[in-house]
């Protein structure tokens, strides 16, 4: 052993890789590199485009680094930031309220259908699961909220429909079954705890990764949604952020098309660089926020996968 000491100390720790494994690693790294380039490149182009002069974009196309650097696009957006700030505010509101209430309802449902003493748990699970395959379709869905519940124009219509999804309920139930052994709840029961005590004091603390995962699914869903604003909003002050942006783009295309048939004004449409700057402003905060919860996200999903 002593003779080998002139080797670098780290050497003995690694296991020698076979040729096959090396090729495998090279292959994997190449694939991952390509994958990440595919993901990152469009975003870089968006960011650099947002700093590029609009005429340059039209003349020379997009580039990786901004040419003719200018802040004009951002100045245009923040000249009257009222709308975009309002959209941010509403989006935060929908995300916080929706995620909180949704998480509560999903974890409570998950807990109930995971309990063995609940006789009809399989029926209830099936009913929940059933809705994920068979739905009424768009029109009945719309009529239900607009006419039957009369929610058109209310902010409730925007966060209420997405509170629970069958997928997340079943995911949560799997978490609970996997992470909370029967023995634990049983012992709590013997000590005299009721369902609420068991749920809040025993199950919830163990369930943190599950809550983080489901919460992140919900939060991302809420943050990125635009469809319900499109369907139910009657006032632009209740718009979701993504809808605000999406509509801006749609308005540009629609009005250009319309202008071939109808005399109408097409002067004040946003330019290319303003559109890109909009995208940056909208996605920026999520990008900053994502790395901090990613930890939970990854561990949460694996916990479910291994133990479920």
Partner 1 sequence: MKKKVLSVLMSLAMTATMLAGCGSTGAQSAAEQLDEQGVTEIAVETQAAEEAPAETADAAELDLSEQVDLVFYVMGDAPQDEELVEAALNEKLLEKCNATVDMQFSTWTEFQQKYANEITSQGADLIYIANWLNYGLLASSGAFEELDDMLDTVAPDLKAMVGESALNMCKVGGKIYAVPNTWPEYVSNGVKYREDLRAKYDLPVPNNLENLEAYLLGIKENEPDQGLLTVTTEESSGFKTAFDAAWVLNFKYPWVSANGLDYGLAANYDTPTDVYDYWFSDDFVDDMKMLKRWADEGFWSKSALSDTNNSDSYKNGLCVAEVAGQNPNKQVTAIADFANAGEGWESAYVAYGETTGVIYPGHATQNGTAIVRGCKNPERALLVLQAMLCDDEINSIVQYGIEGTHYTVEDGIYKNLQEEAGETATFPYEGFNTWNLRNGETKLPQKTDVALQEMFDKYAEMGAKTKFPNVNIYDGFSENYEAYSAERSAVNNVMRQYLAPIEAGLVDDVDAAVEEFRTLVKDAGLDKCREEYTKQWIAYCEEYDYK
Which of 44, 101, 146, 206 forms a contact with partner 1 (CB under 8 A)? 146
Query: Judged by CB under 8 A, does residue 306 bind partner 1?
Result: no
Q: Closer to partner 1 at the Cβ: 105 or 255?
A: 255
Query: Judged by CB under 8 A, does residue 116 bind partner 1?
Result: no
Query: Judged by CB under 8 A, does residue 121 bind partner 1?
Result: no
State in angstroms the smallest separation of the CB of 21 from partner 1. Answer: 30
Task: Work out the number of other CB atoms within 10 angstroms of the CB of residue 238.
Answer: 20
Which residues, 6+ apart, have CB-to-CB distance to 278 below 8 Å? 77, 84, 245, 248, 270
* Terminal alpha carbon distance of the chain: 46
The CA distance from 236 to 86, in Å, is 9
State in angstroms the smallest separation of the CB of 223 from partner 1. Answer: 16
Query: Judged by CB under 8 A, does residue 231 bind partner 1?
Result: yes
Concatenated DSSP letters for 233-263?
--SGGG--HHHHHHHHHHHHHHHHHHTTTS-
Query: Judged by CB under 8 A, does residue 261 bind partner 1?
Result: yes
Q: Alpha helix locations (H) across the chain?
A: 19-50, 54-60, 72-79, 82-114, 121-133, 138-143, 156-159, 166-179, 182-190, 195-197, 204-206, 208-224, 227-232, 241-258, 272-307
Query: Judged by CB under 8 A, does residue 193 bind partner 1?
Result: no
Query: Judged by CB under 8 A, does residue 139 bind partner 1?
Result: yes
Which of 51, 223, 243, 296 forms a contact with partner 1 (CB under 8 A)? 243
Binding region for partner 1 (CB under 8 A): 55, 58-59, 80, 125, 129, 132-133, 135, 138-139, 142-143, 146-147, 152, 165-167, 170-171, 174, 226-227, 230-231, 234-236, 243, 246-247, 250-251, 253-256, 258-268, 271-272, 308
């Amino acid at each position: 052993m002593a003779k080998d000491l002139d080797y670098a100390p780290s050497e003995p720790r690694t296991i020698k890789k076979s040729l096959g494994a090396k090729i495998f690693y090279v292959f994997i790294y190449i694939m991952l590199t390509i994958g990440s380039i595919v993901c990152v490149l469009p975003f870089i182009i968006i960011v650099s485009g947002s700093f590029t002069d609009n005429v340059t974009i039209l003349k020379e196309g997009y580039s990786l680094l901004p040419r003719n650097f200018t802040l004009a696009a951002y100045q245009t957006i923040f000249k009257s930031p009222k709308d975009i700030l309002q959209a941010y505010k509403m989006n935060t509101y929908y995300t916080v309220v929706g995620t909180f209430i949704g998480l509560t309802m999903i974890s409570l449902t998950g807990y109930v259908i995971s309990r063995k003493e609940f006789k009809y748990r399989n029926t209830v699970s099936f009913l929940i699961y059933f809705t994920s395959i068979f739905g009424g379709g768009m029109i009945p869905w719309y009529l239900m909220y607009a006419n039957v519940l009369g929610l058109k124009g209310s902010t409730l219509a925007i966060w209420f429909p997405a509170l629970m999804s069958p997928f997340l309920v079943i995911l949560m139930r799997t978490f609970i079954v996997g992470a909370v052994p029967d023995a634990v709840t049983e012992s709590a029961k013997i000590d005299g705890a009721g369902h609420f005590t068991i749920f809040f004091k025993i199950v919830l603390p163990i369930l943190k990764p599950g809550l983080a995962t489901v919460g992140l699914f919900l939060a991302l869903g809420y943050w990125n949604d635009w469809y319900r604003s499109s369907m139910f909003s009657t006032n632009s002050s209740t718009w979701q952020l993504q809808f605000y942006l999406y509509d801006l783009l749609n308005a540009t295309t629609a009005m250009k098309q319309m202008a071939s048939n109808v005399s109408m004004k097409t002067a004040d449409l946003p330019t290319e660089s303003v559109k890109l700057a909009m995208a940056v402003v909208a996605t920026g905060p999520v990008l900053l926020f994502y790395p901090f919860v990613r930890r939970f996200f990854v561990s949460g999903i694996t916990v479910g996968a291994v133990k479920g």
